[in-house]
Amino acid sequence: MKPMAPLTITGGKLLTGSGEPTAGAIRCEGDHITAVGDVAAQDGDRTVDAKGKIVMPGIIDLGVFEIDKPAFHFGGVTRAALMPDQPPPLDYPARVRFAASFGKPDFWVHPIAAATRGLEGNELPELGLMKDAGAKAVSSGRKWITDSGVMLRVLQYAAMLGLPFISHAEDAGIAGGAVATDGETATRLGLASAPAEAEALAVMRDVTLAEMAGAHLHIRQVTTAAALDIVRKAKDRGVRVTCGVTPAHFMLSDIAVNGFLTFARLSPPLRAESDRRAVLAALADGTIDVVASGHDPRGPEDKRLPFADAAPGMAGAETLLPLTLQLVRDGVIDMTRMAQLLCVNPAKILGVPAGRLEAGLEADIAIVDPDRPWIVDSDRMEAQAGNTPFDKQPVQGRALALFKGGMDVKV
């Protein structure tokens, strides 16, 4: 293969991950960034004029259920951490190794190893061999490990291997087969529901066990005020805990399921308005570390069903960037914090050399127009299926160009 000419991006506002956007340029040789700031193109460089738009690191989507490259590229995503809930589960080294190679060369997949065989919550798999095969974390997937003894052993092994554990925080004994959160909406619609405290109980147990094991616990979605308060206090006393959320839980409350709208059937379910406001406060104060898409495209066979029978999940890769930019427009966060939530912190958690515009890191770069308007249309999405609760909603923010390891990617 012929080597790529060096890439220089000029005329942009650099959102490096360590401060507010500033005018400057960036130069890349091979697949790495070589200079940032006051940089001039050299003879033979491929030169791209960003025309005053934001130049930022490629987004790292932490915890997706499907590798859907057209949707990720549309959304400015250059890397995704793939959850172990695959057919078959990522509980053997060969499966992890295959998943790690799946997106190359224009997209990086970081597999997350299954914490137990078949994600059944019992037998531990060969976590060390899966790390050698490319796993960047360990997870129980969509499920909560009910046996605290098993959970403690998994956390101890993860700590020994230096891998974060990604948990689904929902006490299965309380949540059961619930499809909604206890409250007026669930009662009026007659939906099986569970109290929001099911999340807080799970978070409390997992944080306690992680503290015992000395493990890094990342709670993929924390969506209630009570659970966020537990995380906040754990951080204050030095526990290695991080947490994330998807845009659905800071944009929507449980009233979005009115009319039995299955595109709003999510896991965890949408919460009360008071919890949504608590999520916004946690985004502002730094309690929440990551905003991720939870990308999980579901076709009509999974969504055109009675609400209780529909599969949870949403196609989120394409709307991740504009909905997070909405937080900036609303004054909840600034651009620096947005870069931390979408790029810097996911890279730290996964331990990958990306997430910032910095010399020596991989040249994963997005040129973004934060003000470009478009309308979400479930019938015209790049995703394999358009199951979005934001259908027909006007949004602002679009990736205009994307580079993976310095290579141009179609967006």
Tell me which CATH code domain 7-54+364-384+398-409 carries: 2.30.40.10
3-state SS of the chain? Answer: CCCCCCEEEEEEEECCCCCCCEEEEEEEECCEEEEEECCCCCCCCEEEECCCCEEEECEEEEEECCCCHHHHHHCCEEEEEECCCCCCCCCCHHHHHHHHHCCCCCCEEEEEEECCHHHCCCCCCCHHHHHHCCCCEEECCCCCCCCHHHHHHHHHHHHHHCCCEEECCCCHHHHCCCCEECCHHHHHHCCCEECCHHHHHHHHHHHHHHHHHCCCEEECCCCCHHHHHHHHHHHHCCCCEEEEECHHHHHCCHHHHCCCCHHHCCCCCCCCHHHHHHHHHHHHHCCCCEECCCECCCCHHHHCCCHHHCCCCECCCCCHHHHHHHHHHCCCCCHHHHHHHHHHHHHHHHCCCCCCCCCCCECCEEEEEEEEEEECCCCCCCCCCCCCCCCCCEEEEEEEEEEECCEEECC
Tokens representing 128? 């060390």
Q: Supply the pLDDT for residue 41.
A: 87
Q: Length of the chain in residues, anyone?
A: 411
The per-residue pLDDT string of the chain (411 residues; one tens digit each, 9 = 90 and over) reads 467 899 999 999 999 999 999 999 999 999 999 999 999 989 899 999 999 999 999 999 999 999 999 999 999 999 999 999 999 999 999 999 999 998 889 999 999 999 999 999 999 999 999 999 999 999 999 999 999 999 999 999 999 999 999 999 999 999 988 999 999 999 999 999 999 999 999 999 999 999 999 999 999 999 999 999 999 999 999 999 999 999 999 999 999 999 999 999 999 999 999 999 999 999 999 999 999 999 999 999 999 999 999 999 999 999 999 999 999 999 999 999 999 999 999 999 999 999 999 999 999 999 999 999 999 999 999 999 999 999 999 999 999 999 999 899 987
Let me know: does 20 contact 53? Beta carbons within 8 Å: no
Task: Say yes or no: do domains 7-54+364-384+398-409 and 58-350 share a fold.
Answer: no
pLDDT of residue 339: 98
Domain 58-350, CATH among 3.40.640.10, 3.20.20.140, 3.30.420.40, 1.10.3720.10: 3.20.20.140
Domain ranges of the chain: 7-54+364-384+398-409, 58-350
